[in-house]
Structure 1
Amino acid sequence: MPSKTVYKIIRQYSKGPVPPEDMQKLLEIAEDYGKVKNYVYARFGGIGGLSKLYPGYTVQNEMTASGLRDTLGMPSVYFYLAVFDALGELKAQWTRTKARVQKNVNQNAGFTEEEKHYLCFLIKVSTAFEKVLNQKPVELTRELTARHELLAEHLETERLHRYLCRQVRKCHVKPHTENTLGFAVSERAYRYGDGGIYISTKEKRKRIFIPLTDGSRYKSQLYIKLDPKESALEIYVPIQTAVRKHPDYTGRIGIAFGMYTMLTTHEGHRYGEELGTYQTAYTDWIREKTAGYQRSRESNPGRKKYYARKRKLEEQLHGYINQELNRFLSTEKPRTVYMAKLPGTQAKGSNKRINHSVSLWQRGYIRKRLAQKCEEQSVEMVEVQGKDISRECSRCGFVTAGRPGGSAGGKQDRRFICPSCGYEEEEKTNTALNAKKRGQGEGGLERS
């Protein structure tokens, strides 16, 4: 039986500055790539184009007949990648629209359960959804027609159809891209060799050579990200990697994230204790440079050094995060990791420095990298409800009023004190214990 595989992104970097004339040729491709995507968005992004998105050959044929490729003088290897890139985003946008409409239907107290069930059927069955939005008779297969008639019986379907159309008009947004600094490239349009990569241009049989910092070679669709300010480019390479299975990974670990210590387990083990140092250096530097740039905008038009330094700090921060996540997995050897859903953006406080640190906190990156690494190592990652998870006593379940000190209990000097049973623990450890408890169920926590 073949082993399971997952995709990951490998990055390659240009070696030395890209000549201005070569960068200009790549920028022309990226600009045309964006124009093609926006053309597809505008032409097929509304309800009229919904019937043409699956399987997508209609869009491809109409784009061929549009004459846009000849107008731009764009090679087919780039033109059709842009078309299918835009097509994928349109499908994703409609998925998001349906999710929003579904949520509104479920929250509408004015509908009966039968009406909600009927609307959910229309949203789920793509053919019915498209017909209703375009005000056409709903024609389905025999099996689906029988189900549709059964659900529609005794319902005022016209009213429900009008509601669905209003909700789609309210929720659906046509995509648009302003990105003119990147494009996808197929195997036909590039060739590795001589310590770099040869990339096709808009000129027939003309390729430009970009030296790379490594000699690796790949055979897959690539994405080229341009940085004209730095005269550099990055190549994103999707590769398949086999999922590793570890017989000795048997632990069930609850974890809690923090801004200064990245991760704390339910047993009090800490990983990424220097995250705060890296994070503070990063945010303080950005605040300082941003303020300086605002004061001297006219006399400081170039930001080349700023972006170079920012990228270096980000790479150091991300390198440290990945290093500590690897150490966490190899040390704890978990079979299952329980974590609270990360909170959304909170209301700003009075301290601007703290606000800025919170806004630049790498929590999204940490969660994404942990999810990727868990998948690669066959580790199950379970997200639990985060409501009151840091204010709940992991021993008795009592929920404190907040952060007050004194006899009322709560959090004091980064320690959790329960006013009900007197239990005391480091606050992140208590949160991690609750994550494990919620992940395993009320009776599933085994205290050591």
Structure 2
Amino acid sequence: MTNRQKTIVIKRVPRTVKQHSFPINTKDFEEMKLIAKRYKDVKNYVYSRYSGIHSLLILKNHKKLIRDVWVKTTFAEQWKLPARYWKLALDEAISNIHSLWSNTKNAVRKALRKNPNVTEDEKNYMYYLLKADELLHAILVRETFKKPKKISRLEIRETYIHNLLRRYIRKYKGSIPYSHKETVFIIDAPMYKYIVEGNSFFIEMASLKPRKRIKISLTEPNKYGGNIRIIMKDHSIELHHLVKTKQKTIWNEKNEIGIDKGHKNLLAASSGHLYGEKLNELLNNETERLNKKNAVRNQYWALAKKYEAEGQVEKAQNIWKNNFGKKKYHHQKLKHDMTVKSVINFSLNQFFLIERPSMVISEDLSFVSWNDKFPKSVKRKLSRWIKGYVRKRIEFKCNVWHVEYQLVNAAYTSQTCHKCGEFGNRQGDIFKCKNCGNMHADINASHNIKQRKDDKEIKQYTSYKEVKKILEERIEKKMA
């Protein structure tokens, strides 16, 4: 058996599987809508009450400090939901608040790495505080606290650093994450069961009334366990299950591949291959269609406003009634999005099957803004690019294929030659280097991205100004 044929079974990777229902009768559907609305109300109360800095320490023990108190004081009865529903809503909201704090702390860490006005001791001090919620809480609410030995000897500007930390938290924490969806709720295992009647397959789930269940006909006879997220759509529902998929085969040989993500090709690999070339055509067609569609709608909107100003109310009302429907508009947009996602997933599968990488090195685009980088026509396409979706799918497929995934600094990877390191000019798909000639711009960028993995001077969070300085110094050394 060759090295390529050897396989190793590794852990399982979580993914979402969807089930669909047949149309649901109006009475049951209205009851489910009421459950979803009350479920949302519980979540929003938790968000408003426990998202702030004063509740930071409560989150660690929310079942005792919130849930049990609600039960003892009968506070939860106001929601008019069975206990299992409001407890799931509470748990989901608290989990989201935990994620909010985690994202905030990560954003603060990134900002610290890029802040040249903070010393190493001060950075280490703030990193420690971000891990210790008791100390972080004391600083945010301006309480005194005793410093642990690990940070007591660090030389810091205490007042400045504490104020900086408060500013960072205010900046990156954002507003209260209210939920506006009245079509989503969660059920757990004791709240439902699958049943088979003849050739039909059903799920029965808990209703608002004790010992009464809502019976729903499903389109496929698959059974799953654990929690189910219910999403209501046009008198039917989607059931989202979190399942775990076995990681696929891995190959013993080392094969590190750099990738450059773009709007013309989905991926350019350092091996010289391009993936997702159909994506650009899809994005072009849809963005231009939407642009024309919205231009016509804007004309109708201006005309309706004109008629209203002139007192021709009936004409204005006819325009509002007959030209601004969203159903077809959203249906076409959703259909396009599904097609784009299909192309993205197919292209990524091709990438992994052809390249068989042991590591994928990608550019970190967290701090990249498109505002000044591209003209309007390109930015319209990038807005349809589903940048976050592409990143998540790459990460997911790296997990499935047991491939290591590493982010590197993106600064100047598209503007320098990977062979000689000189700055060049990019014109469309062509990168022009005065020393090495012309080459494919995205392939050149993918080589630079791969080389960044082992660059000891240019770290992931090195500022772009510092990166340019380092690159210019390297060119000067070569010329000397």
Q: Please state which band the TM-score falls in when normalised by the shorter chain.
A: 0.7 to 0.9
SS at match of 2:85: helix
RMSD: 3.0
Distance 1:159 1:212, change over 3 A: same
1:9 equivalenced with 2:16 (yes/no)? yes
For residues 36 and 125 of structure 1, the distance between their equivalents in structure 2, rounded to whole angstroms, comes to 29
Equivalent positions of 1:180-219 (< 5 A) are 180-194=182-196, 195-219=201-225
Aligned to 2:358: 335
Who is 1:425 aligned against?
439
Check whether the contact 2:419–2:436 (CA below 8 A) recurs between aligned residues.
no
Per-residue Cα deviation, 1:263-302 (whole angstroms, up to 9, x for no partner): 2222322222211222223323333444444525432454
Which of 162, 174, 179 does residue 177 from structure 1 map onto? 179
Decide whether the 8 Å contact of 1:199 with 1:207 is kept in 2: yes
User: Any stretches of 5+ residues in structure 1 without a counterpart?
Assistant: 401-409, 443-448
SS state at 1:219 partner = coil
Query: Match for 2:74 among 67, 77, 83?
Result: 67
TM-score (norm 1): 0.84
Could you tell me how far apart the structure 2 residues matched to 1:84 and 1:28 are? 20
Distance verdict in 2 for CA 1:158–1:65, change over 3 Å: farther
Q: 1:108 to 1:335 in 2, by over 3 A?
A: closer
Q: 1:123 and 1:331, CA in 2 relative to 1: closer, same or farther beyond 3 A?
A: closer
Query: Structure 1 residue 376 and structure 2 residue 383: aligned?
Result: no
Paired residue secondary structure (1:51): coil
Q: Which stretch of structure 1 is more off in the superposition, 325-334 or 266-275?
A: 266-275
Superposed counterparts of 1:228-307, under 5 Å: 230-247=234-251, 250-294=254-298, 295=300, 296-300=319-323, 302-307=325-330
CA contact 2:251–2:356 (8 Å) conserved in 1 = no
Q: 1:51, CA displacement in angstroms?
A: 1.9
* Conserved? CA contact 1:340–1:384, under 8 Å: yes
Q: Deviations over 1:120-178 (max 9, x none)?
A: 43333222222343444536xxxx74445545xx8775776566556545654433222
Structure 1 residue aligned with 2:451: 437
Letter in 2 for 1:256: D
Q: CA deviation at 1:181?
A: 2.0
- 1:36 is aligned to 2:51: no
2:131 corresponds to which of 104, 110, 124: 124
Matched, 1:90 2:94: no
Partner of 2:145: 138
CA contact (8 A) 2:12 2:245 kept: yes
Contact persistence 1:12–1:236 (CA under 8 A): yes
- CA distance, structure 1, for counterparts of residue 60 and residue 112 of structure 2: 25
Instruction: Give the structure 2 partner of residue 76 of structure 1.
Output: 83
**Aligned-pair CA distance for 1:225:** 1.6
TM-score (norm 2): 0.78
The range that moved more, 390-399 or 426-435, is 426-435
Letter in 2 for 1:127: E
User: Which residue among 389, 411, 415 is the counterpart of 2:430?
Assistant: 415
Task: Give the percent of matched residue pairs that are identical in Structure 1 and Structure 2.
Answer: 27
SS in 2 for 1:326: helix
Q: C-alpha distance in 2, partners of 1:336/1:6? A: 17
Q: Distance in 2 between matches of 1:207 and 1:314?
A: 35
User: In the alignment, is the contact (CA less than 8 A) between 1:254 and 1:435 conserved in 2?
Assistant: yes
Are 2:52 and 1:46 aligned? Answer: yes
Residue type of the partner of 1:362? I
